Amino acid sequence: MMAELKYGGSALGRIHAKSNGRKVEAYWLGFLEGVLASESIESLEVASIRAEAEQFLQLFGDTDAADLIQDLDTAYGDYHREIFEIISGIVDYRLRPFSESSSNDCCNRFFGFCAGIACDNRLKIKEVEKLIDRIDRNPQLLEDARIAALKGVAVKAISDGHLSMEEEEDIAEWIVRLVGDSCTDTGLPTYRNTPSIDGVLRDASMLVFENSGFVVTGAFSLGPRKIIEGWIVERGGLVSKSISRSTDYLIVAAIASRDWLHSHQGTKIIEARKLRESGGRIHFVEELTFRKALGF
């Protein structure tokens, strides 16, 4: 009999290794493309570039990431121009395997691109124009209602050829819904952030365990998923492995799962968002709120 594959375990990790590697590489490529979108490197972007490079190096031992970290520490005469050229070279090289990208590649690169243009907490018209162009060239992205809304806000913002601070903030808010807070805000790399999600239940006292349907997703700091599901059952909740109309709560970990379909969301989040958009009753519950509801 085939042994059950443990969620987050090494066996499942080996099965997903190729797709996970592709996912991270697509995100890293998109992030660097986003950094280049302004056609210059800003001082506030350097820390974010370093954070993402260090994480990519940690995940894959990538030589480009290692070299880039060294370059960021080098006192070049024209530092920002030199770093721009180095990153441009990395992007040109890494684009080759993505000449015929899948829809997942497209989505992960787009998430990375969004994180890249927003990594310094500022947006320029050039960056917004390239954001819109990227969506136009990949219309399948519009299947995600958040991206469709982001495009609408972005198009309206630059329709007069000017980008105000308020318009920047409007666009940035939609980017946060896709990839979470920027490195400038948190000091952390954005890959595997969980996004800001509409429909989040923030009041722990409103969460009802008894006879409610639960699904959990992500890598929890509280403990293994099996233990978390046990706590729910002990309190009278009903745990399912998949999203359905009987699901009341999707519990979302603070850290994205290694094996999620995309860099910032898995199929459960995608299905739950679609269900909610069609009038479903499901609520998203973040790990911190869930912890409070458990009484921890």
* pLDDT-based confidence at residue 188 (cuts at 50, 70, 90): low
pLDDT of residue 12: 40
Return the structure tokens found at 182: 């920027």
Beta bridge partners, 249, equal 214, 283
Has residue 195 been placed in a domain? no
d(CA 43, CA 80): 8
Does residue 14 surpass a pLDDT of 80?
A: no
Q: At a CB cut-off of 8 Å and minimum separation 6, what does 286 contact? A: 194, 197, 200, 202, 252, 254
d(CA 175, CA 107): 13
Do residue 31 and residue 143 come from a single domain? Answer: yes
d(CA 126, CA 134): 12
Do residue 160 and residue 83 come from a single domain? Answer: yes
Q: At a CB cut-off of 8 Å and minimum separation 6, what does 121 contact? A: 44, 172, 182, 184, 185
User: CATH number for the domain including 290?
Assistant: 3.40.50.10190
Does residue 174 surpass a pLDDT of 70?
A: yes
Element (H, E) at 239: strand 238-239
CA dihedral 65, 66, 72, 74 (to 10 degrees): -150
pLDDT of residue 148: 93
Give the range among 130-139, 203-212, 245-254 with minimum mean pLDDT: 245-254
Q: Each residue of 86-125: pLDDT tens digit?
A: 999 999 999 888 766 688 889 889 999 999 999 888 999 9
Q: Which domain holds residue 64?
A: 10-186
Has residue 193 been placed in a domain? no
Do residue 213 and residue 267 come from a single domain? Answer: yes
pLDDT of residue 4: 46
255, 194 Cβ separation under 8 angstroms? yes
- Tally the domains of the chain: 2
Do residue 38 and residue 172 come from a single domain? Answer: yes
Has residue 5 been placed in a domain? no
Do residue 38 and residue 165 come from a single domain? Answer: yes
Return the structure tokens found at 62: 């990538």
Quick one: average pLDDT of 77-93? 95
More confident residue, 68 or 185: 68
Has residue 51 been placed in a domain? yes
